[in-house]
Structure 1
Amino acid sequence: MQTDANVVHLNKVTSEQSPTSPVGRLPVALIQVRDKAAQQLKEALQALFDNADDTLFEMADRATSNAEQNSFFEAMRDLRLKRKSIERGFLQKIFESFSALTQYEIGKPPQLDAVVSFDSLSLVQNDELEETVAIDAMVGKVMSRDATALGHLTTRLNTLVSKKIEDKTNPLSPRVLCEAFLSACSSLGVEIKVKLIILKLFEKYVLSDLDHLYAETNQMLVAAGVLPELKTAPVRRNPTRSPASSSSGGHAHEGASALGGGYVDEGVQEVFGVLQELLAEVRGSALPRREVPADAMPITTRDLTRLLSHMQQHLPVQTAADFDLRTQLESLLTRASAKSGKTRVVGEVDEDVINLVSMLFEFILDDRTLPDSLKALIGRLQIPMLKVAVLDKTFFSRGSHPARRLLNEIAAAAMGWSEQDDAQRDSLYQRIEQVVQRLLNDFVDDPAIFTDLLADFLAFTGDERRRSELLEQRTRDAEEGRAKAELARQQVEQALNERLLGKTLPEVVVRLLQEAWSKVLLLTCLKHGTESEEWQAALATMDDLIWSVEPHEEAEARLRLLELVPGLLKSLREGLTSAAFDPFSTGEFFSQLEALHVQAFQRFKRPVPEVAEVEVPVTDGAQSDPQALADGGDQAALALPAAVVPVAEQPSMVEVIEEIVLSAPGESREQEPEVHLPDDDEALAHVDSLRVGSWVEIQEDDDHKLRCKLAAIIKPTGKYIFVNRTGMKVLEKTRMGLAVEFRRGAIRLLDDALLFDRALESVIGNLRRLKGA
């Protein structure tokens, strides 16, 4: 019906006036603010997700258990899958908060306090409490920094809408943004520690830029004529400011306590602030007290950078390791004071940086893990590293800082560098020298050069590592093959000695077994193992051969020998052929073996009067063909009367009195007697603590040290195989041999932890000890 158009349904009225429906239209100026904010927040959120994988991967790498590591990997996967929905959900919440500025609420019942029991309190998980504490800390940091700009923005928004807006209900307030993000992340099935890390990433990539957002939106509203008389603080454009360094130390501690357990992103830890506090507490005792004249004028960071650049360009090559940075800087400041007529000093913060970097390099240049010949090169990096630290204080706290990573990578690559290497021709030494020279020549105040040098150096070391790993794998394979062959030879030796030792046998048989059949046994053991049918068959052939040439008097032995010889000769021939034994030597062996078997048949003498005398000579062909003997020669010999059988020459006999020892070509089996240590000896514990990949330094003599890496522990033989940095084998030791080296102090385990991190840990530890002294 046409009249339906004039009917107003009650359910439509209710829905249209729901709190989430935009009853009023936003002013144009507010729409512009909303769109500007949405664009900036979207870009910041994309940066968060782009960096989340790296952060979570680093956390997984530092995990102390498989379960913990898996939780980080699952979080990475979950975050990738739900990234788009989180972005949409977050921006939707922002749009809704702007729309709510023109809405009014009706018919909302009063909120009654819920009845809470002590049992239900346990349902309010510690997780929620930790989230709340973390958000409070994040909001507190922003408010301590940007409260004025946010207050001006709130005041201007109040002139555009009739609804009362406060700072905490401002759509762009840090609390509203945090709650919107937390709501958008509600679908993530991650543990609280992972969620707290994601919140810290939100602080780093989103909240850290709110000062820019507030400044720009205030300027937009001023341009639109909204309260231009309010004086908004200008936006700070410090390229070196990081989210971590922009806030006060107190809030940093709050954030750290909120995360707990060490799961704080390194970029937001106030490490430099803690170091400053430690320096302040030991100044005057361990460090000289800062005496500043009343008329002293601190130089700016830019001027300090210029002075350091001057020192960097004139850094003496030969004395880099002993270069006293503070003395040289003091000399330059004295000259600057004389020119200006005013006492010029380094600011307190910059002086703290200088002290810290000096302490770090004191540790680095004393570190026994670094080869002495490379310490001079690395020591020349002190001024470039100091300049980076002056420009960017996150140098002390961010493990992924390019300058820190470059120093760590250089130290890691130098781990296997030996003093015997020719520095002028060694590619690693030359590459490190190029990096150092490039920094000294080109680094002024743009830290991006460290990123470029790091990428180039990683590409170089990656190529070297791949080549060394390939050679190292070949070394491992060869050693495992040698170990397997050695065990097989031991099995063959045992089998031969069990059957021959103490027996007197024809020389030809002993030679055949030791020189020829041992090779058949060796190949069979390597190919099939000692539990195989092939191995048992090869042993049975050897047993049959030995029995066939031993003297036997019993009547049954004649029939057994008659049945045994054909198959025995066939097995011997097939075995020697499979081992590719010399055919000429094989023919000689069989010729002599035939004669032995003929003699064996002759020993079985039986009177045969009924048989007429028939001379059946053994032809040369029969003698040279063992198969002919097997097929007919043996029967003919047995059928001959003793008077007409030709009497063969008695074979040469030998008694096997020494153990048979087999050795590979070019290998000596002589071993020096080892010293045996008790099982609870401390040196053996040091050996057992070695892991594949561990670097050690061995004092070969008074003048030479060998740096090598444990590439493999060959369990069957107990050999420890060491390679140099190219992957080539340089040392082989037994467990007991290594223990003896440890005991006499000739071997030292090298610390392969990150150099900068070890140096920083040492500095902090020293400062704390000095503080407690």
Structure 2
Amino acid sequence: MTDAKVVHLNKVAPEHSPTPPVGRLPVALIQVRDKAAQQLKQALQALFDNADDTLFEMADRSTSNAEQNTFFEAMRDLRLKRKSIERGFLHKVFESFATLNQYEIGQAPQLDAVSFDKLALIQNDELEESVALDSMVAKVKSRDGVALSHLTTRLNALVSKKLDDKSNPFGPLVLCEVFLDACSRLGVEIKVKLIILKLFEKYVLSDLDQLYAEANQQLAAAGVLPELKSAPIRRKPGQVPTSGSRSGREGGGALPSEGGSYADEGVQEVFGVLQELLSQVRGTGLPRRELPADALPISSGDLMRLLSHLQQRTPAPAAMDDFDLRQQLEQLLTRASVKSGKARVVGEVDEDVINLVSMLFEFILDDRTLPDSLKALIGRLQIPMLKVAVLDKTFFSRGSHPARRLLNEIASAALGWAEHDNTQRDSLYQKIEQVVQRLLNDFVDDPAIFSELLADFLAFTGDERRRSELLEQRTRDAEEGSAKAELARRQVELALNERLLGRTLPEVVVRLLQEAWSKVLMLTCLKHGVDSPEWLAALATMDDLVWSVAPHEDPEARLRLLELVPGLLKELREGMASAAFDPFSTSEFFSQLEFLHVQGFQRFKRPLPEAERLVSEPPVTEQVAEVLAEAGVELPLLELPPAEEPELADAPAMVEVVEEIVLLAPGESRVQEPETSLADDDEALLQVDNLRVGSWVEFQEDEEHKLRCKLAAVIKPTGKYIFVNRTGMKVLEKTRMGLAVEFRRSAIRLLDDALLFDRALESVIGNLRRLKNA
């Protein structure tokens, strides 16, 4: 089965953007989806139309009444739920397409190994179902593997999500899982479920070759990789696809694979297409081969020996700019010609391989996505990669090829790499350098070294990724926590300003509310929310405090104040204690507040006759002392001024709240530079809105410094875009408008996170086509 990843979009209809907005599918793909969905719908209807007869026949063969009733009940259940299963199946199929242009945040790898003990716990029913599923999928892949793989390759040319045959929405595995999910509400036994699965295989999966052929034909007609020949071929189950294309095994034997020969028609076909394009541009884009009449092509084995000789003399990274592989090889051939007395040249097939690899590395070394300091290091891999391509032409077509994957993994790991003054101390640089050096030293003609180095490099990047994902998650959690705190702070500010702005109150009360009670309100808002009884109670306490220190002339206010103060002081104390407010400051606030309340009671003294006053009410001092004692407050004996000299008591310091209260987080400064305002439909804002979490970008900080970072989160409540470096540490935050300004002045550039080799091959094919049409 091919795993080709040749992707070229030049022939796709112009209206299809290579990077369509999130969620939007290209028109060509929508047409394929709709036509295939119609075929699946008809196949599903045929399944249900025949299910009754099948189940009735099984019931007729039953050996017991219980077994017969099982099939009759299944028939009834299937009739009742048929429509919902059909709708659910098609809905899930459409849903699987809807996510193809949506970025998914990678999940951290599961580290728990699955033991045989755990496997033993799987229910027998689930095991039977799983075995049946595997068998059905295997049959489709055996019969229609090439067509499916071509369809997967074409879908990858149109969508941002990387697909393989397992995740292809039309793949047998996805369709089976979708069908099982749609049937999950059926209350049938496993033997009935297995019969239904067999019907699904017979009426739906058996016709997938036609679906794949038509889908490939539609996409090819729309200009999506028309070079892939995907003619519908119906084979008997178990028949192996024919092997060998015109390129065959020229230039060296193919490597053995885990699943069979690489030389099947789908895999080798890509190199054949590349050869054809090369032959058509010789004399225009490429120099024509002018060979002496007696030129004798060297064998692929001799070429490998020459390349190994050059490999041992690969210059250091700093000198790679002056290294021309083709020129060096030409010099060696000239020396060999002089020595043998006959003109020695590279064979045509091997010459094509050399040209293709050279063009691939020209793209790689010009790629702006790769950091400059790593380009020279990766450039040293040109000869090892060329040797692999000489040995195995599927290097150009098979995405899972170890050498190709190694190059892609190195480039992916380097995407977030930042320039360092001392690159040698960076662990990633050291690892890449180690891989390159090992290949230069040890790779002769056994490609198994690439698998070994790939496994080692994946283990290294896996460890780094797990650490960075952990830190990145902590960064997101911290930012979301900060956003919640910011929203709570705004709610508290609003509550304070509604009650204090424009009023004149004792300075101590304003300070108490702004410095202490604001913390109680914020804690309550975070824990319980603004609709909770706790929040309303905290606001009521604040309202009671403001009322208790305001001047009142109504005689009834005295009774309310006497009733209010004990509970008020208790609520204030408990609230401030719950917010862990400084005890010393709390004591100071209460001392001043108690004095304010004493003065408040003092204002209620009325000019009654002496005898009546002595009989009817105790001195105000005693009343206040009793009230405060109930609240747990001990006061020294207060000497109040005589009634006729009320102005002798110290008047409290009053303050008018004329400016809005602004609460700041620790270390925060609310002074913000005014942001540039752009129209809603401004192109720069649209660019920001198309950014997806996980996108890598490069900020041009100044003429000399660039910052590479990844969008880790968009905090919706505050509108902040949070960026982290490759270790997961926060390095930057921007607003939507701030990012738009950066886009507008071209100070921010999106980094292409598509696979490096695939992008390089796409570029080479595009260039060859342009030369052909020139």
TM over 0.5: yes
Are residues 1:663 and 2:764 paired?
no
Q: How does 1:533-572 map to 2 (within 5 A)?
A: 533-572=533-572
The aligned residue for residue 113 of structure 1 is none
Partner AA of 1:179 in structure 2: K
Name 2:365's counterpart in structure 1. Answer: 365
Distance 2:455 2:755 in 1: 18
Query: What TM-score do the two structures reach when normalised by structure 1?
Result: 0.68
Cα deviation, residue 67, structure 1: 8.6
For the 8 Å contact 2:166–2:173, the answer to whether it is kept is no
Change (3 A) 1:718 1:339: same
Aligned match of 1:73: 174
Give me the whole-angstrom Cα distance separating, in 1, the residues matched to 2:235 and 2:613: 120
Map of 2:763 onto structure 1: 762
Kindly state the Cα deviation for residue 130 of structure 1 after the two structures are TM-superposed.
7.5
Does residue 240 in structure 1 map to residue 255 in structure 2?
yes
For 1:524, the equivalent position in structure 2 comes to 524
Query: Which range moves more in the overlay, 318-327 or 332-341?
Result: 318-327
Tell me which residue corresponds to 2:583.
583
Contact 2:470 2:728 in 1 (8 A): yes
Q: What secondary structure, in the 3-state scheme, does the structure 1 residue paired with 2:423 have?
A: coil
Give the match's secondary structure for 2:375: helix
Cα offsets for 1:289-333 (capped at 9, x unmatched) = 111111111000000000000000011213224421111111100
- Alignment match, 2:513: 513
Measure how far apart 1:652 and its partner are.
1.0
* Distance 1:444-1:498 versus aligned 2 partners, 3 A rule: same
Tell me what 1:62 maps to: 163
CA distance 1:355–1:294, change in 2 (3 Å): same
Residue 687 in structure 1 maps to residue 702 in structure 2: no
**2:401 equivalent in structure 1:** 401
Q: 1:23-42 alignment to 2 at 5 Å? A: none
1:592 offset after TM fit, Å? 1.6
* Equivalent in the alignment of 1:179: 236
What is the correspondence of 1:220-235 to structure 2 with a 5 Å cutoff?
A: none
Q: Contact 2:500–2:657 at 8 Å: present in 1 too? A: yes
Indicate the residue corresponding to 2:384 in structure 1: 384
Question: Would the alpha carbon gap of residues 422 and 57 (structure 1) be closer, same or farther in structure 2, given more than 3 Å must change?
Answer: farther
The answer to whether the aligner puts 1:746 opposite 2:761 as a matched pair is no
Distance 1:312 1:530, change over 3 A: same
Show the counterpart of 2:463: 463
Letter matched to residue 523 of structure 1 = L
Distance change >3 Å, CA 439–CA 132, structure 1 → 2: closer
Partner Cα distance (1:470, 1:128) in 2: 44
SS in 2 for 1:733: strand
**Distance in 2 separating the partners of 1:130 and 1:545:** 76
Residue 420 of structure 1 deviates from its aligned partner by 2.9
TM (norm. structure 2) is 0.68
Shift of residue 74, structure 1, vs aligned partner: 4.9
Shift of 1:419: 1.4
1:490 aligns with 2:493: no
In the alignment, is the contact (CA less than 8 A) between 1:321 and 1:375 conserved in 2? Answer: no
Q: Distance between the aligned counterparts of 1:631 and 1:180, measured in 2?
A: 90
Question: Any conservation in 2 of the 1:321–1:365 contact (CA below 8 Å)?
Answer: no
- Partner of 2:297 in structure 1? 298
Letter in 2 for 1:274: V
**1:715-734, aligned counterparts within 5 Å?**
715-734=716-735
Note the C-alpha offset of 1:361.
0.4
* One-letter amino acid of the counterpart of residue 429, structure 1: Y
Partner of 1:68, secondary structure, is coil
Q: Distance in 2 between matches of 1:128 and 1:757?
A: 27
Q: Name the CA distance, whole Å, in 1 between partners of 2:531 and 2:539.
A: 12
Could you tell me which residue of structure 2 aligns to residue 413 of structure 1?
Answer: 413
RMSD: 4.0
Match of 2:655, SS state, is strand
Q: Identity over aligned residues, as a percent? A: 72
Which letter does structure 2 place at the counterpart of 1:349? V
Shift of 1:605: 3.4
Which one scores higher on RCO, CA 8 angstroms, separation ≥ 6?
Answer: 2
Show the counterpart of 1:277. Answer: 276
Partner of 2:612: 611
- 8 Å CA contact retained: 1:416, 1:695: yes
Compared CA separation, residues 744 and 550, structure 1 to 2 (3 A) = same
The secondary structure found in structure 2 opposite 1:492 is helix
Gap change, CA 1:438 and 1:337, over 3 Å in 2: same
Deviation at 1:559, TM superposition (A): 2.6
Q: Cα–Cα, structure 1 residues 612 and 408, in superposed 2: closer, same or farther, change >3 Å?
A: closer
Q: Give the whole-Å Cα distance in 2 for the aligned partners of 1:688 and 1:514.
A: 38
Tell me the CA shift for residue 77 of structure 1: 11
Equivalence for 1:447: 447
Note if contact 1:696-1:709 (Cα within 8 Å) is conserved in structure 2. Answer: yes
- Distance in 2 between residues matched to 1:237 and 1:321, nearest whole Å: 30
Of residues 642-651 and 513-522 in structure 1, the stretch that sits farther from structure 2 once superposed is: 642-651
Q: Which residue of 1 is the match for residue 354 of structure 2?
A: 354
| 1:38-49 paired onto structure 2 within 5 Å | none
**1:499-519: CA deviation from partner (whole Å, max 9, x where unpaired):** 111111111111111111111
Instruction: Give the distance between the partners of 2:765 and 2:746, measured in 1 at CA.
Output: 30
CA distance in structure 2 between the aligned counterparts of 1:412 and 1:766, rounded to whole angstroms: 24
Deviation string 1:382-426 (CA, Å, 9 cap, x unpaired) is 000000000000000100000000000000000011113631100
State the distance in 2 between where 1:128 and 1:69 align. Answer: 11
Q: Which stretch of the first structure deviates more once superposed, 592-601 or 349-358?
A: 592-601
| 2:366 aligned with 1:309 | no
CA contact (8 A) 1:569 1:626 kept: no
For residue 652 of structure 1, what is the aligned residue in structure 2? 653
- How far apart, in 2, do the equivalents of 1:77 and 1:749 lie? 35
Q: Show structure 2 runs of 5+ residues with no match.
A: 1-137, 156-160, 181-189, 216-233, 245-250
Partners of 1:244 and 1:269 within 8 A in 2: no
